[in-house]
Amino acid sequence: MVLKLEDIRLSFDGFCVLDNLSLHVKAGEFVCLLGPSGCGKTSTLRVCAGLESPLSGRVMLGDKIVTDGTKVLPPEKRHIGFLFQDFALFPHLNIFQNVAFGLKGYSKPETERRVLEVLKQVRMDKYAHALPHTLSGGQQQRVALARALAPKPGIMLLDEPFSGLDSGLRADIRDETLHVLKSTNVAAVMVTHDPEEAMFMADRIVLMKGGSIIQDGAPHELYTNPIDHFAASFFGEINIIKGVIKESTAQTILGSVPVSGFNEGEIVDVLIRPENVIVRPRNDVDQHFHTTKIEAARYLGRDSLLHLCVEDETGACTHLHARIDSQLKPIVDQNIVATMDPARAFVFRAC
């Protein structure tokens, strides 16, 4: 393991911010800390960096203990690379000097070789003599990445590094950052509150809430096998409908889902992603399906969003969202049949 956090407890003014948090990161692994604002992502990163003293717990970098309770090795002695939202380049130093700044104990020729090597890696070697203010935001972020990587850190810590960039540039820079980090095989821990960004970047996502880790796994595990309502709904909009347990299935207005561990007759929540609501035109043999109408259809580019009204036996309408291929042309008011793939639905105790 490159990084180990064990049972970290951190509080500010008596308010618990990290509650016995443990996290292990392997060599070359890209881990994203994901969660809503205030859940403790940045605090976790700051504990890794040595910028916070936890009440208890331990941090190890490789086999070295760098935080043991309140004994904290300072950040500059940890051999860690940092990349933050504000690039924090020194305005009076040119790009070469900015990157060379963190290289301690290198001879002059070694410094020159290493600086040009990392600038080349981020495609900024042509700008070695430029001053930071003459570069675009994306170029400055690439220089900041080169500066962080120059001393060959054991691990990189990234705190929302792309959030200051506009959306087109952000996509390019995060793609490039991922490839550069992967090519150097450095382990990385990145904070983000954007689930799409986490899925794009991460080998592993650590989902946090209220100072604790809720779920930890590969992006597809969190998306396809969420542990609870919060984890399921964090990765985008989700339909929540009621189900009744009958003979080991949750029976819903969109069909039944096989389950175990619930009591007969129990009311449960069934969570269905809009892309898992399947619609087709109603025909004569469909009497046993609930009456469903398309109330509105919105073209979103790659897919279309349908607002559906599914009527139950009493005529009450359940409003659901479905995402379908935008090539299909839905007709508003059309009578349809709505079902789902039960293997992609999530059943939880009603809350």
Residue selected from 21, 32, 34, 42 as contacting ligand ATP according to rule CB under 6 A: 42
- Shorter beta-carbon distance to ligand ATP: residue 35 or 255: 35
- Shorter beta-carbon distance to ligand ATP: residue 40 or 243: 40
- Shorter beta-carbon distance to ligand ATP: residue 35 or 330: 35
Comparing CA positions, the residue from 262, 117, 225 lying closest to residue 180 is 117
Query: Minimum Å distance from CB 142 to ligand ATP?
Result: 23
Residue selected from 2, 17, 180, 306 as contacting ligand ATP according to rule CB under 6 A: 17
8 binds ligand ATP, rule: CB under 6 A: no
Residue selected from 23, 39, 186, 270 as contacting ligand ATP according to rule CB under 6 A: 39
| Contact criterion met (CB below 8 Å) for 265 and 242 | no
Q: What count of residues does the chain have?
A: 351
Residue with the two structure tokens 């109330």: 295
- Shorter beta-carbon distance to ligand ATP: residue 37 or 327: 37
Report the distance separating Cα 154 and Cα 187, nearest Å.
7
Residues 6+ apart with CB under 8 A from 93: 101, 131, 132
| Contact criterion met (CB below 8 Å) for 44 and 18 | yes
- Shorter beta-carbon distance to ligand ATP: residue 193 or 321: 193
Query: Minimum Å distance from CB 243 to ligand ATP?
Result: 33
**Binding piece for ligand ATP, criterion CB under 6 A, among 37-45, 142-150, 284-292, 317-325:** 37-45
Residue with the two structure tokens 């709505």: 338
Report the distance separating Cα 53 and Cα 65, nearest Å.
14
38 binds ligand ATP, rule: CB under 6 A: yes
Residue selected from 37, 167, 314, 327 as contacting ligand ATP according to rule CB under 6 A: 37
- Beta-bridged to residue 340, according to DSSP, are 277
Write out the binding residues for ligand ATP, residues 158-217 only, by CB under 6 A.
191, 193
Query: Minimum Å distance from CB 148 to ligand ATP?
Result: 19
- Shorter beta-carbon distance to ligand ATP: residue 39 or 146: 39
43 binds ligand ATP, rule: CB under 6 A: yes
Comparing CA positions, the residue from 100, 107, 146, 105 lying closest to residue 123 is 146
Query: Minimum Å distance from CB 52 to ligand ATP?
Result: 8
Query: Minimum Å distance from CB 24 to ligand ATP?
Result: 20
Q: In the numeric block, which tokens belong to residue 300?
A: 């979103």
**Binding piece for ligand ATP, criterion CB under 6 A, among 38-46, 131-139, 244-252, 319-327:** 38-46
**Binding piece for ligand ATP, criterion CB under 6 A, among 31-39, 74-82, 215-223, 310-318:** 31-39
Q: In the numeric block, which tokens belong to residue 294?
A: 């398309």
72 binds ligand ATP, rule: CB under 6 A: no
Residue selected from 8, 30, 41, 151 as contacting ligand ATP according to rule CB under 6 A: 41
Size of the site for ligand ATP (CB under 6 A): 12
SS percent in the chain: helix, strand, coil, step 5:
30, 35, 35
| Contact criterion met (CB below 8 Å) for 226 and 235 | yes
Q: Are strands 80-84 and 155-159 parallel, antiparallel or unpaired?
A: parallel
234 binds ligand ATP, rule: CB under 6 A: no
**Binding piece for ligand ATP, criterion CB under 6 A, among 41-49, 88-96, 131-139, 248-256:** 41-49
**Binding piece for ligand ATP, criterion CB under 6 A, among 30-38, 71-79, 180-188, 311-319:** 30-38
Report the distance separating Cα 42 and Cα 166, nearest Å.
22
Residue 291: DSSP 8-state: P
DSSP per residue, 189-250: EEEES-HHHHHHH-SEEEEEETTEEEEEE-HHHHHHS-SSHHHHHHTS--EEEEEEEETTEE
First to last CA, the chain: 38
Which residues are near ligand ATP by CB under 6 A? Answer: 12, 17, 35, 37-43, 191, 193
